[in-house]
């Protein structure tokens, strides 16, 4: 993605292919890495040319985080998440967010049981392992907020009773650009719950030709089985992978670099809101996950750089005058990164 078009900061700045794993990894770690790598291959059977976005989805899985996918309609955002779900042996559900969707339609509600003579909780679609929240910014803020507790606490509270969500649990939400009609901007508190915001760009010409060639050959995006997408990883693989990521070493110099990047956003002249300490923590988690996928048991500064935009772009805000001057969040963040000394 960005390796092909480095001059376009609005495109997804993620590495497309990890380095080959180093020798010496334990057999269990290697099996988990192969399984997660196979997930990326399976998604590629259904979606062409979005390798960076697929990488981000896998990294979020490894971190136990949530992902916000933004792009204009028709860029395969929903198909990406459906293909990811099909490649995992995990439960998944989809909620189409609309202006009339109510919070209870997402989380569940109390329903009167005439046989028992009492109210019983009926779980909503959020009680799954992978939730596709489609066009999340087309529903009013009250319904958007119904996901907050689920995303942060992994539970839903109804009538004072907390109901735990399954593990693992991940929200993959899609949204249309906020300047489009019928959208409600997500509040800062909810944006901060997403580990990554991945921009799904319009494809270059050669990729778009390949998309049409697949359709001409009979590809049906509604039938992923026919496309050959199969489950290649499950909860056990993910648990092993997460345990391995937790063992990835981070040197003091790299920790300081992560903090320096976050602090630099707070003093950037074009930004009125910089990254919080939660943002720095998220950046560290993503860098460790990518380092493990790349076959290393330690983090290097390039891992931090690779995920700075996806982790921070939704956590910072431009000043009004910068917006009037045509500045973009990604361009400002790239400028900030360029000004932070990189440890040797």
Dump pLDDT digits (tens) for 27-53.
778 888 999 989 989 998 899 888 899
Kindly give the pairing relationship between strand 108-113 and strand 118-123. antiparallel
Alpha carbon 80 to chain centroid, angstroms: 11
Per-residue CA distances from 167 to 25, 84, 126, 140 (Å): 26, 17, 12, 28
State whether the Cα torsion 72-73-76-77 is positive or negative. positive
Helix (H, G, I), strand (E, B) or coil at 53: helix
Q: Are 121 and 108 in contact (CB under 8 A)?
A: yes
Question: Mean pLDDT of all residues in the chain?
Answer: 87
Per-residue CA distances from 140 to 56, 101, 151, 267 (Å): 27, 8, 18, 33
What pLDDT, in 10s, does the model give residues 235-266?
889 999 999 999 999 999 999 999 999 999 99
Which tokens in the block code for residue 281? 């923590």
Q: Which domains does the chain have, with CATH numbers?
A: 24-233 (3.40.50.300), 248-344 (1.10.8.80)
The pLDDT value given to residue 62: 95
Q: pTM, whole model, 2 decimals? A: 0.85
SS3 content of the chain, % helix, strand, coil (to 5): 45, 15, 40
What pLDDT, in 10s, does the model give residues 127-164?
999 999 998 888 888 888 888 889 999 999 888 889 99
3-state secondary structure 202-259: CCCHHHHHHHHHHHHCCCCCCCCCCCCCCCCECHHHHHHHHHHHHCCECCHHHHHHHH
């Amino acid at each position: 993605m960005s390796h092909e078009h480095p001059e376009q900061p609005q495109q997804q700045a993620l590495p497309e292919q990890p380095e080959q794993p180093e020798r010496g990894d334990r057999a269990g770690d290697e099996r988990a890495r192969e399984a997660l790598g196979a997930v990326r291959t399976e998604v590629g059977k259904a979606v062409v040319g979005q390798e960076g976005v697929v990488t981000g989805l896998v990294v979020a899985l490894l971190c136990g985080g949530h992902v916000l996918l933004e792009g204009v309609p028709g860029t395969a955002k929903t198909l990406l998440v459906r293909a990811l779900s099909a490649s995992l042996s995990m439960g998944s559900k989809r909620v189409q967010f609309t202006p009339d969707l109510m919070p209870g339609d997402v989380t569940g509600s109390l329903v009167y049981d005439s046989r028992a003579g009492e109210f019983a909780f009926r779980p909503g679609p959020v009680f799954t392992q992978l939730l596709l929240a489609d066009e999340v910014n087309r529903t009013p803020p009250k319904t958007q907020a119904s996901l907050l507790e689920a995303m942060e606490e992994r539970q839903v509270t109804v009538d004072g009773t907390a109901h735990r969500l399954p593990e693992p649990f991940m929200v993959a939400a899609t949204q249309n650009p906020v300047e489009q009609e019928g959208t409600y901007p997500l509040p800062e508190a909810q944006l901060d719950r997403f580990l990554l915001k991945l921009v799904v760009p319009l494809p270059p010409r050669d990729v778009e030709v390949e998309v049409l060639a697949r359709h001409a050959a009979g590809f049906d995006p509604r039938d992923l089985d026919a496309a050959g997408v199969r489950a290649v990883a499950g909860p056990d693989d993910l648990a092993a992978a997460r345990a391995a990521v937790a063992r990835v070493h981070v040197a003091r110099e790299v920790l300081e670099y992560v903090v320096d990047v976050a602090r630099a956003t707070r003093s950037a002249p074009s930004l009125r809101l910089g990254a919080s300490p939660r943002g720095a923590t998220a950046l560290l988690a993503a860098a460790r996950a990518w380092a493990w996928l790349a076959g290393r048991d330690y983090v290097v500064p390039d891992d931090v750089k690779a995920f700075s935009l996806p982790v921070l772009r939704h956590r910072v805000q431009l000043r009004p005058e910068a917006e009037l001057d045509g500045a973009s969040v990604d361009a400002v963040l790239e400028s900030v990164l360029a000004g932070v000394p990189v440890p040797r």
